[in-house]
Amino acid sequence: MSDLQTMLPLYMVTSLDVVFLIVAGPGCVHCLRIRRYFLRPAIQGRLLALNLQSLEKMTSIRLSVSISSSSSSFLGQGSISSRTQKSSFPARKSGTCVCVVTPTTEKTAYKTKVSRNANMAKLQAGYLFPEVARRRAQHMVKYPNAQVISLGIGDTTEPIPELITSAMAKRANELSTLEGYSGYGAEQGERKLRGAIASTFYGDLGIEESDIFVSDGAKCDISRLQMLFGSNATMAVQDPSYPAYVDSSVIMGQTGQFQKAVEKYENIEYMRCSPENGFFPDLSIVPRTDIIFFCSPNNPTGNTASREQLTRLVQFAKDNGSIIVFDSAYALYISDDSPRSIFEIPGAKEVALETSSFSKFIGFTGVRCGWTVIPKELSFSDGFPVAKDFNRIVCTCFNGASNIPQAGALSALSPEGLKEMYGTIGFYKENTKIIMDTFKSLGFNVYGGENAPYVWIHFPGRSSWDVFAEILEKTHVVTTPGGGFGPGGEGFVRISAFGHRSNILEACKRFKQLYK
């Protein structure tokens, strides 16, 4: 105890009923002393260490302890619930010690006998966006006072219209009543929402309510689709493309190793999409694959495939007996007559399914709601309907989307909701124009942006990670390096138009200073 008193403002700690010791890393020598002190019988139970086990693994000696009064009022409500532990106790006064010790390499004392999934080991570094976030965090440590603007990850920024949040709040409140409570819902989604999706987005295309599977987002459905096709399926992707297609394919075991020299995985066909081919692959040189992932409007290039191009794609799939997984997560950003759905193309129902999302339509990136359309006409080589197997996957691995987001999504599809939705999309499209005009005025070749919230900027001959680093270092603006989307993205940087207007204007001012 005397030890402890010399190291810590213990008089502050001892006057509290409960102390939360939050250990971010493996903890430090002082954390252990605090723990020993509070484990003494007289005061046992007053210390709640989040990640207590990590206290055993002391590796560093630098200590920084703070008693936070703001967190003490937050925590002093008498209950705490965290991801790591759930407990409830009476507390009159509490405080928080935050150990911000920097961990050295954590030693693992014990290893299981379970082999690592070899497919996981094939994945390169982190998934792109966490890697961008990591570099952003590093930058903020280096420049703690910088006003960092994030136009990288492509997350929405504008509030969800109240009409929609009210519908979710209402649904949440109903769950507290006997009449309004419901448990598991239909795995495929609520009928009303499935019907509204079918009529709103596929009104005259012959897609029915029963063809729609409501989900917790398009990314989750992409992985479920990979599970549906299995590890023997072969696949093609646009290059560059949204990384979830390739990474989920690697995880499923559809690929060989990553080939560093060409920056590609073995056994995936990368369909190059560049300014030279109008961002549409030369299908005459694409070998047959089982699955073709195709995203329009495209992330990251922001380019939209024309009706004629999609007609060629559907014909290509038909000739090869392939299935197109069409990702229309940005369909509502289209202002010209490019197709918003693959099902606008005659014959597509026999060779395509479509996945989409409320994420970028109405700021549901955190709420989570999307859908996948699988027409009855789509079948495997033995004639078995694809939708039936997907239904089995959904029932086995998912259990259906949360009922609260579904209520929000349904209200988003009401006439007022749709008006709000187009309003929000219009706002982001104005942002896109500001970014495009800025880079055009600086003499850059700028692509995308017309029908998508992404601007794809060419930096010929330069590494995209270098450009990303240069922009971050000199302007404190986070972008996304094109190379993270595949080898075809090298030399490009993607700038997202998701941002508050003031941030977009400020970022553009900084771009002008950097590249004038």
Ligand X SMILES: Cc1ncc(COP(=O)(O)O)c(C=O)c1O
**Interaction site with ligand X (CB under 6 A):** 154, 217-219, 242, 295, 299, 327, 329, 357, 359, 365, 370
CB of 454 to ligand X, least distance (A): 9
Do residues 303 and 333 touch, judged by C-beta distance below 8 A? no
CB nearer to ligand X: give 171 or 219.
Answer: 219
CB of 222 to ligand X, least distance (A): 7
DSSP letter for each residue of 430-472:
HHHHHHHHHHHHTT--EEE-SSSSEEEEE-TTS-HHHHHHHHH
Which amino acid appears at position 258 of this protein? F
CB nearer to ligand X: give 91 or 212.
Answer: 212
CB of 242 to ligand X, least distance (A): 4
CB nearer to ligand X: give 367 or 446.
Answer: 367
Do residues 289 and 235 touch, judged by C-beta distance below 8 A? yes
CB of 402 to ligand X, least distance (A): 13
Count of C-beta atoms within a 10 Å radius of residue 163: 15
Any idea what the Cα angle at residue 33 is, between residues 27 and 34, rounded to 5°? 85
CB of 73 to ligand X, least distance (A): 35
Look at residue 494 and give its three-state secondary structure: strand
Q: Read off the tokens for 271.
A: 């369909």
Strand partners, 49: 21
CB nearer to ligand X: give 31 or 132.
Answer: 132
Say how far apart CA 434 and CA 499 lie, in whole Å: 12
CB of 214 to ligand X, least distance (A): 12
CB nearer to ligand X: give 357 or 403.
Answer: 357
CB of 159 to ligand X, least distance (A): 17
CB nearer to ligand X: give 370 or 481.
Answer: 370
Any idea what the Cα angle at residue 501 is, between residues 495 and 507, rounded to 5°? 45
CB nearer to ligand X: give 54 or 249.
Answer: 249
CB of 357 to ligand X, least distance (A): 3
CB of 329 to ligand X, least distance (A): 4
Say how far apart CA 425 and CA 455 lie, in whole Å: 15
CB nearer to ligand X: give 161 or 370.
Answer: 370
Any idea what the Cα angle at residue 113 is, between residues 107 and 116, rounded to 5°? 80
CB nearer to ligand X: give 476 or 494.
Answer: 494
Say how far apart CA 19 and CA 480 lie, in whole Å: 41
Tokens 């200073």 label which residue? 513
Tokens 């549409």 label which residue? 280
Say how far apart CA 489 and CA 239 lie, in whole Å: 7
CB of 219 to ligand X, least distance (A): 3
CB nearer to ligand X: give 202 or 242.
Answer: 242
Do residues 238 and 295 touch, judged by C-beta distance below 8 A? yes
Tokens 């519908």 label which residue? 167
DSSP state of 39: T
Say how far apart CA 319 and CA 305 lie, in whole Å: 20
Q: Which of 300, 255, 212, 295 is nearest to 485 (CA)?
A: 300
Say how far apart CA 367 and CA 407 lie, in whole Å: 11
CB nearer to ligand X: give 229 or 358.
Answer: 358
CB of 509 to ligand X, least distance (A): 27
Look at residue 379 and give its three-state secondary structure: strand
Backbone angles phi, psi at 357, to 5 degrees: -160, 150
End-to-end Cα, the chain, rounded Å:
63
CB nearer to ligand X: give 239 or 327.
Answer: 327
CB of 358 to ligand X, least distance (A): 7
